[in-house]
Structure 1
Amino acid sequence: MKNLLITAAISLTPFMVMADDLSEERIRELVLETIRENPGIVFEAAQLFEEQQQAQQAQVAAQVLAVERDTLERDPNAPVLGNPDGDVTVVEFFDYNCPYCRRVKPEMEALLAADPNVRVVYREWPILGEGSVFAARAALASRNQGKYDEFHWALMGLNGRAEESTVIRAAQEIGMDIAQLRRDMNAPEIEEHIQTSMRLARAIGFSGTPSFVIGDSLAPGLINAEQMISLVNQARANN
């Protein structure tokens, strides 16, 4: 990191040197002398480095979105809420044991109530332990009983962690066939969905939940309904 900041600082120093005229060691000495005389240059260099990193990440993300758009938005193996024929797709990567994902629940409900032309694609991304994996598998399996929507909101509203016992209790409360649910949880399409979520999240550069893809925008972290609506409107305007 120190070397990277020194490299960035070179571009901010008030003099120019030619590599043929000075050794690398002497260039470093001059840069360090400049830093000692102008300490604020370190913060400028750090900011420049941060901006360069963000620009590179944005470029990589744009390339991934171009390649993976169909998988993100039209994967037949991913649950869809809202309007299935909506003109803007919101993709959410989430974990049932993520407290921020649970806080997104009312925000997502507000978005769906405010905009009837939004479709939401859910990417189950269980990264917070075995309970998360069990919950994700159960939720995906519930599609075979036509219960995903109801079950999803029930799991998001759990008190305490999503574990096998609490997930099964939630399934019972909404009238699901538990024996069928347990069988369906082992179907190959369940594992395929989870592995695809892992691959897409890594490729995009997401590091935690919740994370959203809305049009060409990436929104890692907790966002509220107003922010979602703004990004949806932006995506709609770009269509």
Structure 2
Amino acid sequence: MIRLPLRRSNTAALAIAAFLALPASSTLLAQTDVPAAPTQSGPVTGPTFPKPDPATDFTADSPTRAQVEAFLQASWGYDTNRVFQVQRIVKTVIPGISNVTILVGEKGRKETGALQFFALADGKHIITGNEILPFGDHPYAENRSVLVNRAEGPTRGAAAKDLEIVEFADFQCPHCKDAQPTIEKLVTDFPNAHFVFENLPLPQHPQAFQAAAYGVCVAKMGGDKAFFDYSAAVFDGQAGLSTNEGATLTLNSAVSKAGQDPEKVADCAKTPATKATIDAGVKLAQDLNVNQTPFMFVNGRPTPLAGLDYNMLKQMIAYHVANDGAAK
């Protein structure tokens, strides 16, 4: 993954991957001071969690155990192999902020891990490590609303946004190129999805902005299909973006493959309107605290593309299809 030096991110990849995205085996975190689980005998059917003490382990008024369980179900419900227990919700020295401990395990494995976070007084956010993440029964609803209304890049797939998948990418980012086969599989496997491509050219990639500008103009002149023909050609020829001369040849070739006139596209790419379109996409990324590429949102759920098992990703998307309801 390639990171963007924007403002401090609240959805950094490690926090999301460890807490929200990866299978249970990837979230068997370091133990905290929780009681030891009872010793298991016979075949291993899953972890045995220690029984919490209601008098000492649940001293905070908010959030309730049910609210934490609903949040975890919204975040982890797609992974049928994951098991967890809310072990502790206790007061802290700061009024309204609670310390929450979750025990996590996997079916068929005896090992368990503990995850801690602080639930904030607003009832909408938590802090884990040094990251702020959304909290609640529907933690991704606000992101989803923002994207439904503001993600205006080239689209393909279904017109309806009941399943909206938004990709933020940089044409010069090698990990973005590597992610394209995954995106293509998703397009095929979820024909009911509304896919949106948003440009996020990183400042450390000198040719990324020009590649994005050409893409904006290809879409403007030739439509969404022309854009995706262009993007496929640019990613295929990404090595050519390493020099100014190579970038010109690569981008002009991609424009031609998309059925557009390189000279007209080059002129369009220099206009303030084109820059404004790209800047709007970057601002959208900033508002969603995206600081890396490639990055994807599934109905508002932040999902780093690097390191995710494809079958698990499909499970996660199918879970959101079944549970998220209509777009608003």
Instruction: Give me the TM-score of the superposition, normalised by structure 1.
Output: 0.69
> Which region of structure 1 is more displaced relative to structure 2, 179-188 or 220-229?
220-229
Name the structure 1 match of 2:215.
139
Q: How many residues align?
A: 197
What's the Cα RMSD here? 3.3
Name the structure 2 match of 1:84.
159
Which runs of structure 2 are paired with 1:9-28 in the superposition (5 Å)?
A: none
Distance, in Å, in 1 between the alignment partners of 2:322 and 2:261 is 44
Asked if residue 93 in structure 1 is aligned to residue 190 in structure 2, the reply is: no
Distance, in Å, in 1 between the alignment partners of 2:235 and 2:156 is 14
Q: Which has the larger radius of gyration?
A: 1
Distance, in Å, in 2 between the alignment partners of 1:58 and 1:224 is 22
| 1:58-94 superposed Cα distances (whole Å, 9 cap, x missing partner) | 1289999655544423447411122223530001111
- Return the structure number with greater strand share: 2
Name the structure 1 match of 2:311.
226
CA contact (8 A) 1:77 1:189 kept: no
> Percent identity at matched positions?
19
- Return the structure number with greater helix share: 1
Name the structure 1 match of 2:148.
73
CA contact (8 A) 2:151 2:198 kept: no
- Cα deviation for residue 159 of structure 1 reads 4.5
Name the structure 1 match of 2:264.
180
Distance, in Å, in 2 between the alignment partners of 1:193 and 1:64 is 29
The runs of at least 4 consecutive aligned structure 1 residues that moved more than 4 Å come to 47-51, 60-68
> Which region of structure 1 is more displaced relative to structure 2, 66-75 or 161-170?
66-75
Name the structure 1 match of 2:282.
198
> Which region of structure 1 is more displaced relative to structure 2, 219-228 or 190-199?
219-228
- Cα deviation for residue 225 of structure 1 reads 3.8
Which runs of structure 2 are paired with 1:31-180 in the superposition (5 Å)?
A: 48=116, 52-53=127-128, 57-59=132-134, 66-67=141-142, 69-75=144-150, 77-85=152-160, 87-127=162-202, 128-143=204-219, 144-146=221-223, 147-162=226-241, 163-180=247-264
Structure 2: runs of 5 or more not aligned: 1-31, 34-114, 119-125, 242-246
Q: Secondary structure at the match of 2:292?
A: coil
Distance, in Å, in 2 between the alignment partners of 1:81 and 1:60 is 31
Instruction: Give me the TM-score of the superposition, normalised by structure 2.
Output: 0.52
Name the structure 2 match of 1:34.
none
